[in-house]
Amino acid sequence: MRETAGFPAWNGASFLHQTERGELTMWLVAPSVLVMDYRGYSDEGFMVFVEDVWSRTLDRAPGPLRIFADTEHQTGFDHGFRTGMGRWNQRIVARTDTYCLLVKSRWIAMGIALVRATLGKPSRHVEVTTSRERFHSRLDAAIRRHRPRLELIKGEASGGPAPEASSEASGRSPASFGGDSRDR
């Protein structure tokens, strides 16, 4: 099974927030693709961190954005986290064309769908899945579509196909990339 942390950071942009009870790693795997990996318990401070990273990276980025949140190892969250997430989602919903959420059980996925429907929240671009394979398939596709091709970054226009995201994934966590911009 492939872990979300195996996806490489784009241009070294990775961020870490840790508490005694949990952690959140966020990194850009392409200029418009954000991955979030939750572990343990999340409190209101996590949302302060999320909003800070967002404002420093993607808030002024042009075009639609893609967010992939791996919450499979998240053990819980407090009221401050939940209300902060709701506020942040309302602010970013118009900016995103993909919001893919990996959860650990179908009951959680059903609960999210029910709450969204009850509140009348738009869901055209939201996918909640319990399948890590499906989550990574969507993430791989987003990386292939939105990560600049190496030839273009180097200024060489070869016209060949873009490299596959899965061959770029090294199996290393964002912490093992040199020159990352980790926050604590």
CATH code assigned to 4-176: 3.30.750.24
Sheet of 14-18: strands edge to edge? 14-18, 22-30, 33-42, 65-77, 96-102, 126-129
Q: Which of 32-46, 54-68, 93-107, 165-179 has the highest mean pLDDT?
A: 32-46
Q: Which residue has the tokens 């199996």?
A: 171
Helices (H), 17-120: 44-57, 79-92, 106-119
Six-digit token pair at 179? 């020159």
Q: So where are the chain's domains? A: 4-176
pTM: 0.73
Interval 59-86: pLDDT, tens: 888 889 999 999 999 988 899 998 898 8
* pLDDT, position 164: 42
DSSP code, position 126: E
pLDDT (average), residues 3-13: 55
Q: Which of 32-41, 46-55, 106-115, 150-159 is predicted with the least confidence, judged by mean pLDDT?
A: 150-159
* pLDDT, position 182: 38
pLDDT (average), residues 10-33: 88
Q: Is-contact 163 150, C-beta < 8 A? A: yes
Check the CA dihedral 93-104-26-4 and report its sign.
Answer: negative
